[in-house]
Every structure is written in C-alpha cells, then in structure tokens.
C-alpha cells in the first residue's frame, strides 16, 4: 500500500459514513426483483464462487443475449456469479447481500458497479451515494474479509438528452465517483474509471458504445472488460486473458525511472493539494513542466522559470502535474489514480512525450505514432474526468543543439501528427513553439535550453506567451 493511503482510506470511510447517517441509505428490496433475488440467493447457497459481479443493469446484462460473449470470454471460466439488477440502487444491493446473496461465499474478488441509478432521484447527493457504496464495501469486508474489491465509476450519460436534469445527474455521478475513488487502498480495495472508453476527442460520447444513459452496448461492455482485465487479473493472481497492448505508451504504469526527487511523495502531495487549491489551470507533463514553477514544489527540484510562470499565470490558481522522467504511460497511471479527480479546471495544458523517445532498461523507445496514441488516451481521460475543461496540447520541444540531432526528425513527425489530429477539434488547441525556440539555422542556443532539453527562463517565456495567447 502507498504510504498514507491507509489514513486516506479511513478518512474517506469516515466522511461517507457521516453522510450515510444523514442520507436515505436504509436497506430495502427493489420492487419487482423478488424472483431474481430468489434465484441468485439459491445460486449462492448452491456453490461458492471465485468472482462476484454486484451492481446495476450494466452488470445484470452481462449474462444475457449478445452480452454473453463478454461473459464467456473474460468471466465464465473464473467461476463467476452475476448479482446485477436492472435499476438497482445502493440500498437495494445492501438488502440483497444481507438476505442471502453472500451466504457461503468466499470469493477471491468482487466487481462492484453501483450508484448510477441512485442519481435518478434528484434529491440524492454525491455524498449520500458514496455513503451507500461505502456501506456495501464495509459489508463485503464483514462477510468476506479476504476478498478484494474492484470499484467501478458509474458510467456516463448519453449526450442525446442534455437537458438541465441530465446535466445535474451527470454532475452528481461524476462527483460520487470521485468520492468513491477515495475508498481505494490499492491493497484490498481498488478503483477503476473506465469512462474514457466512451468518449470522443471532442467530448461527445460514442453512442455505438453507450446507446442509453449509463448502459453500454455489447461493444461497450467489451471495452469495459478489456480495460478492467489487467487490474482484475492482478487482483486474482492470474495472467490477463488478453495480452497488454504492444504499444507501451498507452499501457498505464507508475514510476519507471529514478530522478532527483521522490515520485511517490509528489503524487501524494498533488492529491492533497488539489482539494485545497481548486485549480483553474492544470499543467500535465514531464520534467519540462515540472521545472517551470508552481505548486507543489520540492526542495530537490528548484524552479527554472519563475518569472515567466508568474507572467503567464498571474492571479490564477495553477497546479503543476509535471514529473521528471515521466512518459505518456506514467501520466495515464497518474490520471487513473485520481490526480485529476475533483479538479474541474478551466484549462488543462498537456506537454508530454519527450521521454518516450528515450530508451532505458525500464522502457523502450516509442514511435511518433505510438506517442500520439498515448497523448490521445490522456486527452480522453481529461474529457471523461473534467468534461468542461478546455485543453491545450503543446508540441514536444526540440532535442539537441544541432538541427541534425538524431531526435529532431521523430519529434517533428510527432508534432505534425498532433497538429493534424487536433487542428479542428472543439475545445482543444494545439500549439507548437519550436520555430521560436530554435535559431534561424535550426540550432538550439544555450540561452534558450542550457542542456539541450530543458528550457531556461527565456525558453519558458516563449512557451508562456504562446499559452497566454491560446487561453484568450
């Protein structure tokens, strides 16, 4: 478990428990579910299952019709039991589990997807929904103390009926998911947000994957299963049923390289800071972003562009999610582990990919196309986690002093891919300042980048001015 995550877990449980006491979370059987409950309770009494699926209609559908392909491919061989109910709320699930559906069960793992139907009641608050999920988690700990739990974020709403009520419900679901994420300790309780699979780059939803509010199609359920598989397999101590992508730039991973700071401590500091700061601008990147300036700061990494930072963001609340040595896959891990949760900034600035061109014993060199795919996955996560944010993607900065430096051509190829992809996407702006960073003959001066990679104050000023213009 990460240091301080135990304290965070108990703090989260305490918070939602207080909401539980104040909110409508009493156990009650769902009307019309009597026959299904009797069948599921009987199945639980008849056999002990290795994997339980608990939740709403998206879970219930897995054992039916065209969804059966998903069940057969990923879950059937794991001796699984589907305890999903169409339209069920947290109070209904609590009743089901208290009345026989957990009897005799000692599963290795439970997948829990619930809360989305609770928000159909406009009086339900995110805290009350999270309290209901917390109560289910505590019940599972009580009944099945050795079981690992995978919490899934409620699925998004379709954008075909974006009236005021749907907006409010979507916001409730989003915030409830952020609160539920705090229950994860990455040891017995895990959290996974798969919602990015349903988004397009422009922020709209893939209706082929999500034809109804909060309910995936069979194709959408397959995408959820694929996203879930590496985490679920790890929880079960198995090899994934499908291999990971060959493109390492899109496979989330935590710290890979050693640098002059504590990667994990920075992650903890960002999670703590975000709630207090309420940022208006988020900077996502590697050491180039990290070195600029902004909170959180550390003694090991002194800012190299404080004047231009102040000039660019004067009066704005900015959080710096730059990490030295990070690649796209590290950013994906960080976003999957709550670094953007609860931050609904006006602008999200992304400058990542430089380190993907560097091969080490810990990670191979990626191609420009692979890096572009990694950046795309980052953008989709931003869309899912902060739908109202505008995004600025900065092209990767040039490497090396000379115009014929080995990485110049791959960087140019990547930046052209990014420019072509994001040129006409609503809510996204692409900027490339490399022509301003370079001398007319293509050389990179020490005044701009002393080490040929990281900007000095003058280089950051060029970037900052371009960002300020893009934010107008």
Is 250-470 the same fold as 5-236? yes
DSSP 226-251: HHHHHHHHHHHT---SSPPPS-GGGS
Tell me the whole-structure pTM to 2 decimals: 0.93
Nearest Cα to Cα of residue 280 among 315, 243, 310? 315
Q: What is the pLDDT of residue 159?
A: 60
DSSP string over 430-465: EE--HHHHS-TTS---TTT-TTSSS--HHHHHHHHH
Backbone angles phi, psi at 263, to 5 degrees: -60, -45
247 CB burial (10 A radius; 0-12, 13-18, 19+): middle
DSSP string, 23-81: SS----PPTT-HHHHHHHHHHHHH---SEEEEESHHHHGGGSGGGHHHHHHHTGGG-EE
Task: Give residues with Cβ within 8 angstroms of 111, minimum separation 6.
Answer: 51, 52, 53, 54, 55, 59, 150, 152, 228, 232
Superfamily (CATH) of domain 250-470:
SGNH hydrolase (3.40.50.1110)
Return the CATH number of 5-236, one of 3.40.50.1000, 3.40.190.10, 3.30.365.10, 3.40.50.1110.
3.40.50.1110
Q: What are phi and psi of 128, to 5 degrees?
A: -70, -40
User: Domain-by-domain residue ranges, the chain?
Assistant: 5-236, 250-470
Q: Per the structure block, which two tokens stand in for 224? A: 């959820």
First vs last C-alpha separation in the chain: 43
Helix (H) or strand (E) holding 132: helix 126-143
pLDDT given at position 250: 98
Instruction: Give me the tens of pLDDT residue by residue for the chain, a chain 472 residues long.
Output: 443 443 444 444 444 444 443 344 578 999 999 999 999 999 999 999 999 999 999 999 999 999 999 999 999 999 999 999 999 999 999 999 999 999 999 999 999 999 999 999 999 999 999 999 999 999 999 999 999 999 999 999 876 556 788 888 999 999 999 999 999 999 999 999 999 999 999 999 999 999 988 899 999 999 999 999 999 999 999 999 999 999 999 999 999 999 989 999 999 999 999 888 999 999 999 999 999 999 998 777 889 999 999 999 998 999 999 999 999 999 999 999 999 999 999 999 999 999 999 999 999 999 999 999 999 999 999 999 999 999 999 999 999 899 989 899 999 999 999 999 999 999 999 999 999 999 999 999 999 999 999 999 999 999 999 999 999 9
Q: How far apart are CA 99 and CA 433, in angstroms?
A: 63
CB 395 within 8 A of CB 415: yes
């Amino acid at each position: 478990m990460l240091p301080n995550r135990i304290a965070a877990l108990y703090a989260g449980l305490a918070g939602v428990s207080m909401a539980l006491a104040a909110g409508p979370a009493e156990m009650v059987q769902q009307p019309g579910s009597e026959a299904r409950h009797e069948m599921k309770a009987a199945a639980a009494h008849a056999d002990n299952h290795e994997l339980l699926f608990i939740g709403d209609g998206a879970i219930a559908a897995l054992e039916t019709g065209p969804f059966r392909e998903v069940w057969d491919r990923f879950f059937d061989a794991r001796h699984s039991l589907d305890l999903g109910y169409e339209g069920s709320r947290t109070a209904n699930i609590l009743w089901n589990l208290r009345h026989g559906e957990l009897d005799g069960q000692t599963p290795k793992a439970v997948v829990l997807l619930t809360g989305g139907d609770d928000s159909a009641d406009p009086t339900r608050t995110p805290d009350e929904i999270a309290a209901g999920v917390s109560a289910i988690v505590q019940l599972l700990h009580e009944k099945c103390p050795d079981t690992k739990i995978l919490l899934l974020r409620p699925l998004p709403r379709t954008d075909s009926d974006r009236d005021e009520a749907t907006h409010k419900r979507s916001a409730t679901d989003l915030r409830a998911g952020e609160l539920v994420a705090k229950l994860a300790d990455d040891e017995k309780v895990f959290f996974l947000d798969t919602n990015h699979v349903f988004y397009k780059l422009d922020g709209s939803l893939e209706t082929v994957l999500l034809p109804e509010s909060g309910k995936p199609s069979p194709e959408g359920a397959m995408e959820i299963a694929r996203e879930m598989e590496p985490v679920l397999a790890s929880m079960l101590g198995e090899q994934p049923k499908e291999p990971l992508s060959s493109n390492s730039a899109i496979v989330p991973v935590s710290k890979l390289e050693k640098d002059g700071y504590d990667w994990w401590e920075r992650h903890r500091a960002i999670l703590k800071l975000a709630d207090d700061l309420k940022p208006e601008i988020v900077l996502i990147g590697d050491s180039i972003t990290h070195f600029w300036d902004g909170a959180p700061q550390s003694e090991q990494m002194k800012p190299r562009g404080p004047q231009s930072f102040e000039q660019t963001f004067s009066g704005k609340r900015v959080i710096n999610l730059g990490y030295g040595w990070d690649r796209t896959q590290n950013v994906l891990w960080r976003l999957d582990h709550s670094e953007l949760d609860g931050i609904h900034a006006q602008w999200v600035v992304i400058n990542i990919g430089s380190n993907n061109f560097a091969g080490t014993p810990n990670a191979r060199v990626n191609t420009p196309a692979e890096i572009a795919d990694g950046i795309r996955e980052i953008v989709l996560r931003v869309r899912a986690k902060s739908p109202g944010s505008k995004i600025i993607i900065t092209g990767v900065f040039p490497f090396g002093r000379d115009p014929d430096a080995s990485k110049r051509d791959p960087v140019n190829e990547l930046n052209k891919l990014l420019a072509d992809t994001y040129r006409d996407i609503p809510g996204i702006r692409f900027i490339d300042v490399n022509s301003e960073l370079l001398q007319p003959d293509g050389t990179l001066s020490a005044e701009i980048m002393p080490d040929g990679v990281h900007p000095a104050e003058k280089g950051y000023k060029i970037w900052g001015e371009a960002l300020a213009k893009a934010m107008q």
